[in-house]
Every structure is written in C-alpha cells, then in structure tokens.
Structure 1
Amino acid sequence: MNKKKFTKEVKLFGMGILYLLPTFVILSVFLFYPIWKTFQFSFSDVLDGGIVDEFVGLKHYLALFDSSSFLNSIKVSFQFVLYTVPITIILSLFLAVIANEKLKGSRFFQMIFSSQLGISGAASSAILLFFFHPTLGTINNVLGFFGIPNIQWLTSPDWALFSVALATVWMGLSLNFILLLGGLQNISVDLYESSTVDGAGYWTKLFKITLPLLSPVLFFVTIINFINAFQSFGQIHILTEGGPSEATNLIVYSIYRESFMYGNYGFASAQAVVLFLITLFVTLIQFKVGERRVHYQ
C-alpha cells in the first residue's frame, strides 16, 4: 500500500469517527456510563447523592436471595410476562389479519386499532384507573347489569396483577398491530393468487403462507414484548403502586422503590443487574429457539 493511499484511508476513517462522535458521546453519557455505575453500585454501599462509600463485594447479591420481597417480585414478573405477551401478540395478530382483508371500511378500522399509540402510558393508565374503579368503574357497572358482583380489580391481591396485565395488553396493542399489519402488507399478493389457483382455502393460506412469511415480524414482536413486559413501570406506578400486598411488585417497581423511596441504592442496583441478566437470558433463548422457525423471504 503506497503512502498516498494509506493517508487517504486514514483521513476517511477520521472523518467517519468525527461523524459518529455525537452518537458515541450520547451513548456514553446516557447508556454506557449509567450501566457502569449500576454495576459499581451493586458491589458497594452508596450514600445519598450517588457517593460510593465502600466496596462490599457480593453482599447485596446475597441479600437479594434472602429477601422474600425480591423473590416474590421475580415470580410476579414472570407471571406478568406470561399474562401479557401471548395475549398481546395473538390479539394484535388477529386484528392485523382482519384489517388486512380487502373489506369495506378496513381503513377506518386500521385507524381505530392504531389510535391508542397516540395516547401516553400515563394517560392510558389514568383512563383505566377509572374503568377499574370498584364502585364507579365502567367494567363493574357492566358486570352489575348482568347481575355479576363487583370485582375489586386493583385492590384485591387475587385480581390486581391480572388487571394490570389487561391494561398492559391494551396499551401494547397498537404498536404490535402496526408492525404486524406492515408485515402482512409486505407479503406478495402473487403468492395468494397462485395458491388460490391451486385450490388452497383460507386456512391453508393462513398457516402455509401468511404465518411463515410473517415469522420475522412475529419474532421481532415477541422479543420486544418480552423486554417491554419485564420493564413495565408506568402502569404499575399509577394503578397499584406495587400493591396490594406486593401482588404487582414487579422487579422494575422494586428497583424504583428500593432506590428512590428507601435509598438502598446498592441493593436496587443489584436488582437491576439481575433484571438485566434475566432479560438477556430470555432474549438469547428466544434467538436460540425461535430463530430456527423464522422464514426469511
């Protein structure tokens, strides 16, 4: 390589780094530095203001597994994921398939199904807080019309997690619907026309063409729904504040409570690290198992 060519490549590399510098700075300040501090805090006693007092090793991690509250938060988090993710994906897929049909008024239904995306999580939770009200709530009034006794949706340990899960499903429908509808509209019409000529019915097309070709989008949607479910916070904070009796105390809310309410920054950081590892492990399992079933065009 001659000197002139080498100098040119170094100059191009330097220009590339210069263009990427703002991104590196933003990621360093808002991502890499907080991650490093979280790991540091998890091995330290931390004073108010984020001042590291002393290194304590695995003290906080050992305390986690002696904490019945934390162990309960893990159980509740997995229950919450099992309640929300399958229902959200199946319901979103059902709505997307219906909206993708060439029916009269389908554009209107696409707009209706997508409209919730324009409402913030806090506003959605506030609306649902009224719906779930034990005496004035819309849901109990409808149940009362059919002679069904009122249900303490948010104040009963037996119903609170299910109620928050329902709220989360509703809040997540629009984004999943838009992603799945986009995937459906990206499937070539020629495939359906060819299968019709071959005598394939609706269900054959759905299971032999639609779902296999939609599998990359379904795979992506599944991953982001798992991650979002583990990171759910806003609706928990507004609807139940982790109660009653820690029935909705997900790991994320436990981290918030330990750090900002109790000032146990080291203990909360250890919980954050464990949550990161759980999310990473679940995501890797999905890539290991789920990607085999993905059919790329």
Structure 2
Amino acid sequence: MQNSLNDLAAEVSSKKELIYLKPKQKFSIVPYLYLIPCLVIFGIFVYFPFFKTLFLSFTLTNARGKVVEFIGLENYLELFKSPEFINSLKVTFKFVPMLAIPAIILGFTLALLANNKLRGSKVYEVMFSMPMAVASAPAAIIWSMLFHPTIGVINYILGTSIGWLTDDKWALISVAVVTVWLNLGINFIFLLTGLKNIPEELNESASIDGANYFQRLFKITIPMVSPTLFFVVMINLINSFQAFGQVKLMTGGGPGEATNVIVHSIYREAFFNNRFEMACTQSMILFLMILTITLIQFMYEKKGVHYQ
C-alpha cells in the first residue's frame, strides 16, 4: 500500500514538472531586424568616422585629405614635440575646471532655490532654463558685445576698461563665463528633476527629528540626488573638453594662444594648415582623454553614488 502511494506521488510530481516546463523558444531574427536602422545610422555617422579618423592619424595626407603615405606613430611623436599642441593641452586643462565646477555648483544652487515651494517658483524655473534655448553662436555674439572694452555693459557696470577678449589674462575667463551660462540651463533642469524625485517624507521626518537645513542637505538631499549629480558631472566634463563655438567666435583662439583649446586647435590644423592627419591625431588624443576621465568616474561611481 505504501509503495503504491509513493508511486502515485512521484507520478503527480512528474506531471507538475511537465505542466510548469516552459516550451523551448525558437530563435527569431525579427527583433534583430528592428536594430538595423539604428546600426546603419551609427555606422555611417559614428563608427565609420571614428575608424577613418583613427586610420588617418597613422598616415600622411595632402591638402585635400587624401592619403599619401602610411607613417605609423610619427604623427603622435611629432605632436608631443609641438609647443603649440602642448600649450593647447595646458589651456584645455585650465579651461575644464573653470567651466565644469562653477556650472555644476550654480546649477545645483538654482535647482535648490527653485525646488522650494515659494510663490513664483515656476517663473524662476523658466528663467533659469532659458540659456538652454540659446545656441552658442548668437550667445557668443551677444556676450562679445557685453565684453567690448569701450561700449560693453560689463565694463560700464564695473567701472573698468578691461579688454576682456583681447587681454590674455582675462580672455579664457571670459569664454568660460559664457560657456558656464550656456550650460546652466541643462544642469538646472536635470538637477531640479532629481530633486523633485526625492520623497518629501524624508525631509519632513528629519525636520521633526530636529535636523537643520544643511544637515538635511548633506545627509538626505545630496545622497538621494547623487545619480543625477553624477550624470551632470559627466556631461559637463565632456562638454568642457569639446567647447568650440564660443571660442571660435569670441577670440579665435587668441590673443596669442591664450584660448586655443584642443578642439579649436583641431579645427585650425584641418582647415587653416590643411594638415588633416594632425587634426585626426589630435582628435584621437582628445578621445583618449575623455575616455580615461569617463572610466575613472565610473570606477569611483559606487563609492559616491547612492541609488534608491
């Protein structure tokens, strides 16, 4: 009798396994077909230009950009012996913190102010977001007029006569100010969105427990908004290395080489000196610099970013 019960239980168990056993899925090519348009666009506008640039950096080209000779690493060796390129690296590494740090701090401060539920806060949100709607070209022209040494409003307000864009002490700072203003809108929008996603109950509970504003800011707000803050830091650093339009229109890399950041140096090598191979070489170095900084950021991401 006991054996028959055991056999019956084993039979029921095997039937259950058959019931819950998922049918074997067949391979389907249909999902991959939907990726083809995306892959084609990326291939034409991203991957092909990248590998073409990489190839040209190992060659010697003529004035039309046609390959004349494959020369290996000679372009890279020549580049690091060039005083102009070394100067452009120095200018770039001076420009990046001058841009990224104020843009992030100001964006976060304005987001904190707009996040407070005060009368007219919606008006502030629109005002602080406005720079995002302005392209770099018209912004550069407007700010060039503001920075003008004789008719500019900035000198009039400060009571000075500084040549902001013609003095090598002030030119890079002036371009950084304009770039900070241009990036302020996007930083503000991202950070304000992150702040609005923080549950209000956390701050209310902390207030009841006696925590002041700055304790709530550093113990609750910043840790909770850290994923957004990490993203904003990344895009600001990348944008800082790629700044070009305002430099080209406001100073043209001058006075002297004071504002000749690496992207402007690439432009000048390609379209003024007709040395396309050197422009491609500088582009690859810029790519490696941004890649290295991005990898370092992701290495330290888990230590400083709190995901909900």
Name the TM-score class by shorter chain: over 0.9
Indicate the residue corresponding to 1:240 in structure 2. Answer: 251
Secondary structure of 1:242 counterpart: coil
**Equivalences for residues 10-159 of structure 1 within 5 A:** 12=28, 14-144=29-159, 149-159=160-170
Indicate the residue corresponding to 2:5 in structure 1. Answer: none
Secondary structure of 2:177 counterpart: helix
Please give the per-residue CA displacement for 1:35-92, whole angstroms capped at 9, x wherever unaligned: 0111111000112443211101111101111100000000000000010111100011
Please give the per-residue CA displacement for 1:224-255, whole angstroms capped at 9, x wherever unaligned: 10000000001001100111111000000000
Please give the per-residue CA displacement for 1:113-143, whole angstroms capped at 9, x wherever unaligned: 0011111111111111111111111101111
Compare 46-55 and 26-35 and name the one that shifted more.
46-55
Give how far 1:103 is off: 0.8
The one-letter code matched in structure 1 to 2:118 is: L
Which among 185, 188, 195 is matched to residue 177 of structure 1?
188
Q: CA RMSD in A?
A: 1.2
Give how far 1:102 is off: 1.0
Secondary structure of 2:201 counterpart: helix
The one-letter code matched in structure 2 to 1:162 is: I
Secondary structure of 1:253 counterpart: helix
**Number of residue pairs matched?**
286
Whether the 8 Å CA contact 1:236–1:242 is kept in 2: the answer is yes
Structure-2-length-normalised TM-score: 0.91
Point out where structure 1 has 5 or more consecutive residues left out of the alignment.
none
Structure-1-length-normalised TM-score: 0.94
Indicate the residue corresponding to 1:228 in structure 2. Answer: 239
Whether the 8 Å CA contact 1:215–1:293 is kept in 2: the answer is yes
Indicate the structure (1 or 2) with the bigger Cα radius of gyration: 2
Structure 1 residues 112 and 71, CA, compared in 2 at 3 Å: closer, same or farther?
same
Indicate the residue corresponding to 2:199 in structure 1. Answer: 188
1:275 aligns with 2:290: no
Whether the 8 Å CA contact 1:219–1:291 is kept in 2: the answer is no
Secondary structure of 2:52 counterpart: helix
CA distance in 2, matches of 1:34, 1:78: 26
Identity %: 49
Structure 1 residues 269 and 18, CA, compared in 2 at 3 Å: closer, same or farther?
same
Whether the 8 Å CA contact 2:64–2:274 is kept in 1: the answer is no
CA distance in 2, matches of 1:157, 1:193: 51
